[in-house]
Amino acid sequence: MRYELYYWPGMPGRGEFIRLALEDAGADYVDIGNLSERQGGAGAVSEFLHAADLARPHFAPPVLKADDIVISHVANILAFLGPRLGLVPEDESSRLWANGLQLTLTDFAAEIHDTHHPLGPSLYYEEQRETAAKRARIFVQERLSKFLYYFERVLATSAGNGPYLVGSAHSYVDLSLFQVVTGLRYAFPQAMARVEPEVPAVTALVDRVSHRGNIAQYLVSKRRLDFNESGLFRHYPELDG
Amino acid sequence: MRYELYYWPGMPGRGEFIRLALEDAGADYVDIGNLSERQGGAGAVSEFLHAADLARPHFAPPVLKADDIVISHVANILAFLGPRLGLVPEDESSRLWANGLQLTLTDFAAEIHDTHHPLGPSLYYEEQRETAAKRARIFVQERLSKFLYYFERVLATSAGNGPYLVGSAHSYVDLSLFQVVTGLRYAFPQAMARVEPEVPAVTALVDRVSHRGNIAQYLVSKRRLDFNESGLFRHYPELDG
């Protein structure tokens, strides 16, 4: 089956959490938003989301289409894909644990986003720079390490099983933590240089993921989009206190 | 089976989404945080979350314990409880749709929270009042109606099936939308008085839920905690522009 991913083109954004799972598993998929305008593009994404006759309209992308099933929200899509792509253990308890970790990453990503959009998503960064500086300072001082220490602690409980968040095997949550840390290194290089030595198991997980066969190939392909200042992870040096 | 809910005492907060599902289904549960300090209370919640030897430490409450299974995050807990309590349809497609809607409510709740905490959760409201006024103004002008119109549109697609978000039957998502709208009426009475006439299907859903047998009894019981200024939905008149 060919999966269809609907997400805005030109940035990794929240779509990247889905791309990483599909790429890692070598799944057949098409990234509709990043096709040419003839074949897809932003227009096709918008049309898919906002068609007036949709029985089940979705609030925002990313949206995944798998035959007749259409799913929105990153954690929801990954909970669906995980078993199908072999990226989560079989047992219910582990799947609930994986989804809980993914939802903590969802909250972390939202706080990262809000460092550059503290007054909300409807204003440009340039219209909220002063407030962004305040929020980013608190984020860097308190929230960044709180979240990273948490994932370090989770990895510590798996000691002896290798650097995996869910039991003793690689999962989609590892791929998502890889993406968050990679994005944080782009957005907050100075802050991350200070905090990363304190979370060695997190760093080891990121290294391990980057060397997985399909991921290593993906990261140097043109399908892997560069971080930029349109996305979730933005590098504004004035926020990296 | 007796479910155990771990959440901070004295406010509805995010725990209320779980309480409503358990109450609606007449499930056997104990609200650990709201027991006396001898039997439970905030100390028991904190201990359960932060015990050093936990194999799977959770980031934040609410956490639900169901025999050997321990689950965090509202949407994750409700996706687990839904089938067990008869609060979501059987088919996979409907369950994914329900979870997607619940995650949109999660995002909505986070934006509501951030109207009084725009610089982050680690400062008191009184330390961020000026920024809160800015964020709340944008929330009331743009985001409040955007989310409510979305749910109105979802209800419109079920025309003829009655006021249900998921197909033609009552679900845990209806209970959660009830809670969000009820909380918004408490926090932003003036703004809601303006926008509610534009979302009649949402209002009808809230009315319907409030008259369900177990919910009607619960709402007048002492287990139903009043909204207050410690929780997710806070009434600060200066933010209700």
Q: Measuring CA to CA, how many Å separate B85 from each of B20, B21, B66, B102?
A: 12, 8, 13, 16
Domain-embedded: residue B221? no
Are the beta carbons of A138 and B118 separated by less than 8 Å? no
Domain-embedded: residue B235? no
- Answer with the one of A70, A85, A100 that is the final residue of a domain: A85
Domain-embedded: residue B227? no
Q: Indicate if B23 and B49 belong to the same structural domain.
A: yes
Compare all CA atoms of chain B with the CA of A106 and give the residue at the minimum distance.
B107
Task: Report whether B139 contacts A123 (CB < 8 A).
Answer: no
Instruction: For chain B of 241 residues, list the mean pLDDT of each consecutive stretch of 10.
Output: 96 98 98 95 93 85 96 98 96 96 98 96 94 97 97 83 84 98 98 97 96 98 96 97 78
Compare all CA atoms of chain A with the CA of B97 and give the residue at the minimum distance.
A71
* C-beta pairs of A220-229 under 8 Å, 24+ apart in sequence: A223/A19, A223/A23, A223/A31, A223/A34, A224/A12, A225/A10, A225/A11, A225/A12, A225/A16, A225/A34, A226/A12, A227/A11, A227/A12, A227/A183, A227/A186, A227/A187, A228/A10, A228/A11, A229/A125
Q: Which residues contact B146 (CB under 8 A, 6 or more apart)?
A: none
Are the beta carbons of A118 and B118 separated by less than 8 Å? yes
CA distance B167 to B161: 7
Are the beta carbons of B134 and A143 separated by less than 8 Å? no
Q: Indicate if A113 and A171 belong to the same structural domain.
A: yes
Q: Indicate if B106 and B189 belong to the same structural domain.
A: yes
Chain B residues in contact with A110 by the CB 8 A cut-off are 107, 110
Chain B residues in contact with A143 by the CB 8 A cut-off are 120, 122
pLDDT digits over B11-20, tens only? 999 999 999 9
Chain B residues in contact with A56 by the CB 8 A cut-off are 97, 154, 157
Are the beta carbons of B104 and A59 separated by less than 8 Å? yes
Q: State the nearest Cα–Cα gap between B96 and chain A, in angstroms.
A: 6
The residues facing B53 across adjacent strands are none
Q: Indicate if A71 and A96 belong to the same structural domain.
A: no
Q: State the nearest Cα–Cα gap between A10 and chain B, in angstroms.
A: 24
* pLDDT given for residue B161 in this prediction: 56
> What CATH number should be reported for the domain holding residue B72?
3.40.30.10
Q: Indicate if B116 and B175 belong to the same structural domain.
A: yes
Q: State the nearest Cα–Cα gap between B120 and chain A, in angstroms.
A: 7
Compare all CA atoms of chain A with the CA of B56 and give the residue at the minimum distance.
A154
Q: Indicate if B53 and B118 belong to the same structural domain.
A: no
Are the beta carbons of A99 and B93 separated by less than 8 Å? no
Chain A residues in contact with B100 by the CB 8 A cut-off are 58, 71-73, 76
Residue B52 token pair? 């050093």
Q: State the nearest Cα–Cα gap between B40 and chain A, in angstroms.
A: 24
- Of the residues B18, B65, B84, B103, the best mutation for testing chain A's interface (the one with the most A CB atoms within 10 Å of its CB) is B103
Are the beta carbons of A120 and B111 separated by less than 8 Å? yes
pLDDT digits over A156-193, tens only? 886 555 689 998 899 999 999 999 999 999 999 999 99
Please report where in the chains the tokens 């906002």 appear, as a residue. A50
* pLDDT given for residue A125 in this prediction: 96
Domain-embedded: residue B65? yes
Q: Measuring CA to CA, how many Å separate B112 from each of A63, A73, B50, B166?
A: 24, 19, 27, 23
Closest by alpha carbon to B169, among B107, B105, B106, B82? B82
Are the beta carbons of B138 and A157 separated by less than 8 Å? no
- Answer with the one of A36, A67, A85 that is the final residue of a domain: A85
> What CATH number should be reported for the domain holding residue A222?
1.20.1050.10
Structural domains of chain A, count: 2
Q: Indicate if B124 and B67 belong to the same structural domain.
A: no
Owning domain of residue A105: 92-239
Domain-embedded: residue B217? no
| HEC letters along A92-116 | HHHHHHHHHHHHHHHHHHHHHHHHH
Q: State the nearest Cα–Cα gap between A116 and chain B, in angstroms.
A: 11
CA distance A92 to A76: 15
Are the beta carbons of B120 and A139 separated by less than 8 Å? yes
pLDDT digits over A17-41, tens only? 999 999 999 999 999 999 999 999 9
Q: Indicate if B98 and B207 belong to the same structural domain.
A: yes
Helix (H/G/I), strand (E/B), else coil: A227: coil
Q: State the nearest Cα–Cα gap between A239 and chain B, in angstroms.
A: 14
Q: Which residues contact B134 (CB under 8 A, 6 or more apart)?
A: A119, A131, B118
CA distance B196 to B205: 12
Residue A5 token pair? 């991913």
Give the ipTM: 0.97
Compare all CA atoms of chain B with the CA of A91 and give the residue at the minimum distance.
B69
C-alpha torsion angle, residues B67, B69, B74, B78 (rounded to 10)? -70
pLDDT digits over B78-96, tens only? 999 999 999 999 999 999 9
Domain-embedded: residue B232? no
Closest by alpha carbon to B135, among A120, A129, A131? A120
Domain-embedded: residue B151? yes
Domain-embedded: residue B124? yes
Among partner residues A59, A76, A118, which is closest to B96 by beta-carbon distance? A76
Q: Indicate if B179 and B103 belong to the same structural domain.
A: yes
- Answer with the one of A85, A115, A147 that is the final residue of a domain: A85
Q: Indicate if A66 and A159 belong to the same structural domain.
A: no
* pLDDT given for residue B160 in this prediction: 55
The residues facing A29 across adjacent strands are A3
Q: Indicate if B189 and B102 belong to the same structural domain.
A: yes
Q: What is the mean pLDDT of residues A189-198?
A: 98
Chain B residues with CB under 8 Å of a chain A CB are 54-60, 68-69, 71-73, 75-76, 79-80, 92-93, 96-97, 99-100, 103-104, 107, 110-111, 114, 118-120, 122-123, 131, 134-135, 138-139, 142-143, 147, 150, 153-154, 157
Q: Indicate if B62 and B143 belong to the same structural domain.
A: no
